[in-house]
Structure 1
Amino acid sequence: MIAVDGLDEQDLADCARTGEGTRGPLAALAAAASPLRIRPGGPSEPAPALATLVTGTTVAHTGVATEQPFDPERPESRSTWYAEAMATPSLFTAARQAGLRTAALQWPATAGGDIDLCLPLVEDLRRYRNRWDMAERTSSPRMVADHLAPRREMGVQLSQAVPDELVSEIAVEALARDRIDLLAVRLSGLGIARRAAGLDAPAATRALRDAAEEIEAILSAFSPGPEDRVLLVPGRRLVPAALLVHPNAVLAEEGLVRTEGTRLKDFRVLVWPDGPRGVVHVRRGQGTAVRDLALEALTGLAAHSRLQLRTVDDGVGATAETDVVAVLEGTSGTVFGLSATRRPLVEGDDPYYAGPRAVSDPSAPAVALAQGPGLPPAGVEGSWADLGVTLAASMGLTLPGATAAGMCPGAGADGTGTHASAPVVESS
């Protein structure tokens, strides 16, 4: 399973076309695999989406509610990286219980999990002396012994290593060394480059080329046969950032957020950015009057900023300390800021805000490529959670905390199992 942040359907088609008619493994996958449609809605940022994928349940039940760790001053809130924050058993747990050998590289919420080869690439320097200390203490013992220790002895500087290059290099090594029954790899460089620099920037073009090379390397090392499964998972389409909204400035005016200069100090209610959405967190123990005050203030903001405020019924326990009561949703290109200080969306580098230049579009579907026994044909669709249930079932596994039913035929499916609106990736 390869998840690529920032990759969309057109990228898949472009990457599958190799020069001079050569058919690489990515082109072969694109030609043979079934496109599975991930419906609009649900989490649009990578970490929450991938958490729902490997648990088969909604983001309100996974324990990973945000892309960046919520309230990073508090260790218990670092759900983006640590497996202990997962509130629902994952596909890795089910695979290990079935006696399968597992590996997770740069996959969210896996540090400290029961995974044979685990390289989470945690970014939590407050708790560790340096990057090597951080990598070795959060990776699995076998990962350290087989792949990290030799690199440290050779003098590799992790602070200078490109994460995706390291991840793909180790994935190729691991596949050559031993059998792995479940390998999950996340490549994040393309999404980072496109968000920071813009969709058509030279850095984004290079990042797409690098991502294609890394996918090719992993697929070549895996060399899937008829009994193997491959799932290539892109993210939501990215669009140029067009509107920057600071809902926490409104909450600060109501006394619900306290600041120290431009820094957030404490809060009773806080809107946490999820790319094109703002997720309204209320600290547990606050009364209904606080929630009502926050929703009233945000309703006023929504009316003047082309936003919609949607209440949430199942957001209890979204993080260790907060419940989610509502979500602010903007039109395509809306970006939500965390700061309680209003700043405009400007071109160039602003000392307070210099990005992102692109943001995911939650109204856009995504198209995953699936190949192998038990995986469905073209024409099915569902949520990230449905895809996880379907993947587990193809492996003969059950996700005990799943709330989704699995992928199902889409509204445009015909009698042959094809889908009238499901885009097909073509390759030359």
Structure 2
Amino acid sequence: MHSPRLLVISVDAMEDVDEAYARTLPAFGRILADPARAQIQAVYPTLTYPNHTAQITGCPPAETGIFNNVQMQAGVDHPDWFWWYRMIQVPTLLDRAAAAGMKVATVNWPVTAGAPFDVVVPEIGNEDRTGGVEATMRKACSARGYELFERHRDKIIEKPKRNHGPFAAAVAADVLREDQPDVMFIHLVELDAARHKHGPRGPHVAEALRTVDGRLATILAALDETGGVGSGSTDSGGAATNIVIVSDHGQLDVVQHTNLNALLAERGLMETDGQGHLVSWDAYVHSSGLSGQLFVADGITAEKRRRLEDLLAEVLADPKYRIRKIWTARQARDAFGLDGPFEYVIESDPGVIVGGALDRRAVVRRTDPDFGGNLGNHGHHPGAGDQPVFFATGPAFTPGADAGRHRMIDEAPTLARALGVELPDSRGQAMEELLSGGRN
């Protein structure tokens, strides 16, 4: 008798407050009828890539190396994302499953480009910097994944903003029907996009949840054909499917942009050409949305470092900047498991973007005529706002069990237990309250 399959579906930016409405929808309702559950506290920063990496490693950014969505490329308007699987610095749950002989599939899961698994169709971007879509996907997908990309690429909606949701659902359905993986991770982004554009609350949230429900319906229909949903059904090998819905972060209303790079330029710690293009820098803020990471050049002089430290003290003292705390990298590592090649982490008040713009004023409030960009965002302190979700159903989970508040890094060891594999490098702990012990 085979171990149960594991299907993990990330609904990006789903919050605990969304559950009540989601339960009324057909596909969500099948999974949320009586699931095992937990409220999850994200890793810092509350960004998609650090948290999705934590979900498959059980480790925080200081250990995974994925400390931001995008890489530090000073002065680049749209830096390269942390797309490539090789960038993860610790073993993952996917590695352990593959080593145990399981067939592994990923669809649009962050930081999986080039992963060495059976079916890999990763989330990518900035294709113009990597040879275009075709060349990039040939390198980023598995052979089977590229075949599926070609089959369904017409389902990627390009305008007004790229939407992989229809594509991801169609690919996932074909993988379930044709490949029948033991382990599958899929990422759906429409809810996150709606909250970014319109804000965390409003009728657009229900609309986006309905859209995601349609994607789930496509996926569950394929699963029904090969195994069914929940602990009461079995696949052809006699093992049911464990289905888990997770999310990575919530969102907050954006109330202000604090563009610290503008202040660094004013104080002579950064040089631009007068048109917003970077020439050189001694200190540079790499935005992580509603927080920031401050890099300091290796060759900074003692005088310029004193100038930088004086500026940081001024920013903290002046309420107009709405900067709550400046952590050293060591302090951030001790408090949050956040570390990287930066020297400081900038924590703002909730809803304040710590921006890296070189061509804007230092402070731009939502009420200002030149305010622009998203009305909702994340990257904030993980304790702020509504929280990510974890819902699970299947033979490995106890229906109705509630583990209360847990850390994002506790998800991977919990999923490892459901699969019956070890994850010795995880810093998290399995949510034993949710596990039934049943794997066959």
TM-score by length of 1: 0.81
Q: Is the 8 A contact 1:7 1:191 kept in 2?
A: yes
Q: Is the 8 A contact 2:83 2:113 kept in 1?
A: yes
Which residue does 2:326 correspond to in 1? 309
Offset from partner CA, 1:289-310 (integer Å, 9 cap, x none): 8666544422321222332112
Which residue does 1:114 correspond to in 2? 116
- Cα distance in 2 for residues equivalent to 1:273 and 1:133: 29
Shift of 1:117: 1.1
Which residue does 2:54 correspond to in 1? 52
What's the secondary structure of 1:81's corresponding residue? coil
- Distance change in 2, residues 1:28/1:128 (3 Å): same
Aligned: 1:124 with 2:126 = yes
Shift of 1:25: 3.7
- Distance change in 2, residues 1:292/1:186 (3 Å): farther
Q: Which amino acid aligns with 2:168?
A: V
Which residue does 1:182 correspond to in 2? 183
Structural mapping, 1:160-309, within 5 Å: 162-200=163-201, 205-222=206-223, 223-226=228-231, 227-260=240-273, 261-283=275-297, 294-304=308-318, 305-306=321-322, 307-309=324-326
What's the secondary structure of 2:262's corresponding residue? helix
Aligned: 1:326 with 2:327 = no
Offset from partner CA, 1:366-421 (integer Å, 9 cap, x none): 221122344473124321112112212321223343222343779xxxxxx9xxxx
Q: Which amino acid aligns with 2:365?
A: L
- Cα distance in 2 for residues equivalent to 1:323 and 1:370: 36
Offset from partner CA, 1:262-309 (integer Å, 9 cap, x none): 134443432222222112234567688866654442232122233211
Which residue does 2:34 correspond to in 1? 32
- Cα distance in 2 for residues equivalent to 1:36 and 1:132: 40
Q: Which amino acid aligns with 1:394?
A: A
- Cα distance in 2 for residues equivalent to 1:265 and 1:322: 24
Shift of 1:236: 2.7
- Distance change in 2, residues 1:96/1:164 (3 Å): same
Q: Which amino acid aligns with 1:116?
A: D
- Cα distance in 1 for residues equivalent to 2:291 and 2:169: 31
**Structure 1: gaps of 5 or more residues:** 19-23, 411-416, 418-428
What's the secondary structure of 1:323's corresponding residue? coil
Q: Is the 8 A contact 1:36 1:380 kept in 2?
A: yes
- Cα distance in 1 for residues equivalent to 2:328 and 2:99: 38
What's the secondary structure of 2:342's corresponding residue? strand
| 1:395 counterpart (391, 394, 419) | 419
Shift of 1:16: 1.7
Which residue does 1:424 correspond to in 2? none
Q: Is the 8 A contact 2:42 2:51 kept in 1?
A: no
What's the secondary structure of 1:32's corresponding residue? coil
What's the secondary structure of 2:347's corresponding residue? strand
- Distance change in 2, residues 1:210/1:264 (3 Å): farther
- Distance change in 2, residues 1:323/1:10 (3 Å): same
Aligned length: 395
- Cα distance in 2 for residues equivalent to 1:367 and 1:137: 33
